[in-house]
Amino acid sequence: MNKITNNPFHLRDKIILVTGASSGIGREVAIQCAKAGARLVISGRDAARLEETLGLLAGSDHRAIAADLTDQQQLHALVEQTGTIDGVVHGAGVHGVMPIRLVTDTFLNYVMAINFNAPVLLTQRLLYQKKLRDGSSILFVSSLAAHTGTIGVGPYSASKAALIGLARCLALEVAKRGIRVNTLSPGLVDTPLLEHNQIMLNEKASMYPLGIGRPEDVAYAAIYFLADASRKVTGSVFNLDGGIPFT
């Protein structure tokens, strides 16, 4: 038997949708999934940067579909254009940093719309339209902030914690079709969003025994949850915490 097809960690012949693929974690997830043999449908709001990601993917037959997932028409159009898939990684998100005493209704709605509403409603549409094959994988990207208390990140923490609660319920609802639903909770990851604050990154790095994460660390974990190797894993939350004590 071919060594590749006998490897439960490969993604060969799988079609994977990755949102937020125009940069950061989403881009790296797409890159590594392509290396693992998947065909990618990548989405993001920035069409130009999405095309850059497309050019970085190994293999062929990948597609890029620009879409703002807070716009229901664009979300529905993405689902229609995506076709039938074997997995989805919800990588799109915003930081949403603001002390609670300064939080406004507008800001809170903005954070929740992108970090929670969009991935949930995209998943709903994929299921409703029967775009997810039996045995497929749904992967939400949460954050270690959902498990810890950190000054100034209340709206972000809340939106990411909401994903965990939703995923656990959804895992039970779709188990009869063999569909798995899991959540990744990365700690601090060195992405372009943090490039402007290198001093903060250096300070935080000392808190992580294994150092702060890289986008590829999240991507490798995503591959496990998308692959057949995790076929009996669902409703779980996987912390990529670098060993940081938080309990």
Q: What is the largest CA-CA distance in the chain?
A: 61
Q: Hey, what are 46's tokens?
A: 């920035």
Pairwise CA distance, residues 182 & 197, whole Å: 31
- The answer on pLDDT for 114 being more than 50 is yes
1: pLDDT confidence band, cut at 50, 70 and 90?
very low
Active site residues: 156
44: pLDDT confidence band, cut at 50, 70 and 90?
very high
Return the pLDDT at 235: 98
> Mapping DSSP to helix (H, G, I), strand (E, B) and coil, where does residue 141 land?
strand
Phi then psi for 80, rounded to 5 degrees?
-65, -40
Pairwise CA distance, residues 33 & 46, whole Å: 21
Residue 3 CB coordination number (10 Å): 7
pTM as predicted:
0.92
Digit-coded pLDDT (tens) for 45-64: 999 999 999 999 999 999 99
- Among the listed residues 151, 193, 149, 146, the one whose alpha carbon sits nearest the alpha carbon of residue 165: 146
207: pLDDT confidence band, cut at 50, 70 and 90?
confident
- Percent of the chain residues past pLDDT 70, beyond the cut: 91
Q: Hey, what are 19's tokens?
A: 């949102």
The residue type of 113 is A
- The answer on pLDDT for 4 being more than 80 is no
Q: Where are the domains of the chain?
A: 15-237
How high is the mean pLDDT of the chain?
91
**Looking at domain 15-237, what is its CATH homologous superfamily?**
NAD(P)-binding Rossmann-like Domain (3.40.50.720)
The count of C-alpha atoms lying within 13 angstroms of the C-alpha of 160, restricted to the half-sphere facing its C-beta, is 28
- The answer on pLDDT for 201 being more than 80 is no
